[in-house]
Amino acid sequence: MEDNQIIELYFSRDESALTETAKKYGTFCLRIAMNVLSVKEDAEECVNDTYHTAWNQIPPTRPDSFRAFLGRIVRNCSISKYRARHAKKRFNGMEVMLSELNDCVPAQGDVEQEIEAKELSKYINTWLEGLKTEDRVLFVRRYWYGEEVRDLARQCEISATQMTQKMLRLRRKLKAFLEEKGVVL
């Protein structure tokens, strides 16, 4: 079923919207949640919550990209779960991803005011726009979809070590870009 047909089901409050969403995007959502949380039960719970959130937000929201809309909800749900259960130290995927993102945190600059997440997204968008397509895709697959480095290496047909170096260079580039813009986290 086409995305706009599924969205119409949400608008007419037809519960088959949830079934159709699960049919088309269930695997996609589960993949993202698993990449982040690494625990199947938690990931499945997140995916179910995602359907409910979608049901509550549509209407009034009419997403332009249904895939991105759902993916964003899964990500948010996953980080909430991670934060809630952080003490249990079960979430390898997220731990690794967050420790890698430390490389992108800019050094303290002159401007002492902390940037809002929304504003920060704009900077990241600008930075992504300037990257080569392949680098941008790699960055988004790693830090938005949460795909593992070794999987990305396999897709690019390079070694995991080479991919690790590639990702490190990308993170340093982002850090330099944010510092240049005077961003303080």
In the list 1, 22, 96, 105, the residue contacting another protein (rule: CB under 8 A) is: 105
68 binds another protein (CB under 8 A): yes
Task: Indicate the residue among 55 and 90 with the shorter CB distance to another protein.
Answer: 55
Buried-state track 125-147, b at ≥16 Cβ within 10 A, e below 16 = eebeeebeeebeebbebbbebbb
Nearest distance, CB of residue 59 and another protein, angstroms:
5
Residues whose CB falls within 8 Å of the CB of residue 68, separated by 6 or more in sequence, listed in order = none
- Residue 1 CA to residue 4 CA, distance in Å, equals 8
22 touches another protein (CB under 8 A) = no
CB of 16 to another protein, least distance (A): 11
Tokens of 27: 């695997």
Q: Is 98 in the site for another protein (CB under 8 A)?
A: yes
Least distance in angstroms from the C-beta of 34 to another protein: 16
Cβ atoms within 10 Å of 63's Cβ, excluding its own? 17
Is residue 166 close enough to count as binding another protein by CB under 8 A? no
For residue 56, what is the DSSP state? Answer: H
Residue 96 binds to another protein (criterion: CB under 8 A): no
